[in-house]
Amino acid sequence: MARLLNPDPSSFFKGKRVLVTGHTGFTGAWMCQWLIHAGADVHGFALAPEEGQDLNLFTVSRLGERMASEIGDIRDEAAIAACLARVKPEIVFHLAAQPLVRRSYVEPEMTYSTNVMGTMNVLRAAHAAGTKILVNITSDKAYLNREWVWGYRENDQLGGHDIYSSSKACADILATSFRLSYCGKEADMRLATGRAGNVIGGGDWAEDRLIPDIARAYRAGNNVTIRRPNAVRPWQHVLEAVRGYFQLAIALSEGKTDIAAVNFGPDSENVVEVGRLAEAIQDTLGQDLIVIDPDSSTVHEANLLRLDITKAREELGWTPLMGFRQTVDLTTHFYKAIIERPGDAERLLQQDLDTYCGLLGSRPAA
């Protein structure tokens, strides 16, 4: 009998103690919603939501009332060590980071201290606390981007032109070195890194990101300037990436200790230009918002970036499930709804999660 691709990972987490760093951020909030739905004992450690984000997903969905949430900074070695020692999580998902390319130009020291030394603090604290599984989250931007037309594979060279990208490459190399140095015995912590492409979905309000900028303009009735309309990115819904991280944790628990890193990205139909995605979002919102101004870009950003996801399929049984149109529709409808009815945030999260879980386990392996 052919094994089933893309099983629902929820049952694995039922009753397990899981800690998510960066739980007050966009991806962290979606991950925690799924873990709560799965029946996990969910803990979080992260900075407080950024000021000025009145629709921050963690806040409006009342996640802090439905999980154990600790506000802290992963750069504080003592604080993260105390948290891990107290919680003693079986599984850690390390998402906390300075995630913005353009901010890294302005705050390079903070970017490196968070993404590199903060990661070291988390790894050491988790190892000392007896954590069994740790999934470290970096980025597709950890690859040294040569503007290739084919996707980067896990053994391609890491690097980065901008401070953010190079910091994620360093965090990635650090995790591999930590695994080789401290995770060699059967009883030791099992550690691997997940690299995802441009993750989108409802409720991201980060600065200098395409869809949050469009959503803010829509909410305020303003226009939004698109600075790199021809740049190509691998867009995928946040739940696709979260499921990949979950399946990576499950694989580690099953003894796949030779996995150092895995890419999670969309099929080719979701690898499209910034301008095309922006126009699709605008059309679904039903409002003219976009102004194209390529000359407004003042810092280096990659033009072409793709991931090869063969390893995710072959090693984890993971493939993307959502095409371009469904990704756009789910994302846009969430923003429209949460702007109109912020009090519905928890319901909206669960509604999209239910829709997504309905797609799982439906495609047999070839």
Q: Is residue 5 part of a domain?
A: no
* The amino acid at 138: T
Residue 148, pLDDT score: 82
Domains of the chain: total: 1
The residue type at 126: A
DSSP 220: H
**Is there a domain that residue 107 lies in?**
yes
Beta bridge partners of 234: 271
Paired tokens of 273: 């230009």
Count of alpha carbons within 13 Å of 243, Cβ hemisphere only? 28
Cα 86 to the center of its chain, rounded Å: 26
- pLDDT tens for the chain, 366 residues: list them: 344 689 999 999 999 999 999 999 999 999 999 999 999 999 999 999 988 889 999 999 999 999 999 999 999 999 999 999 999 999 999 999 999 999 999 999 999 999 999 999 999 999 999 999 999 999 999 999 888 878 999 999 999 889 999 999 999 999 999 999 999 887 789 999 999 989 999 999 998 899 999 999 999 999 999 988 988 889 999 999 999 999 999 999 999 888 999 999 999 999 999 999 999 999 999 999 999 877 655 565 667 788 999 999 999 999 999 999 999 999 999 999 999 999 999 999 999 999 999 999 754 333
Per the structure, the complete domain to which residue 174 belongs is given by 17-357
**Contact in structure between 183 and 192 (CB atoms under 8 Å):** no
∠ CA 21-97-26, rounded to 5°? 70
- Asked, for residue 11, whether it belongs to a domain, the answer is no
Cα 234-239-245 angle, rounded to 5 deg: 90
Specify the pLDDT at position 300.
58
Considering the entire predicted model, what is its pTM?
Answer: 0.95
Whether 12 maps to a domain, the answer reads no
CATH number at residue 215: 3.40.50.720
CA-based angle 200:206:212, to the nearest 5? 55
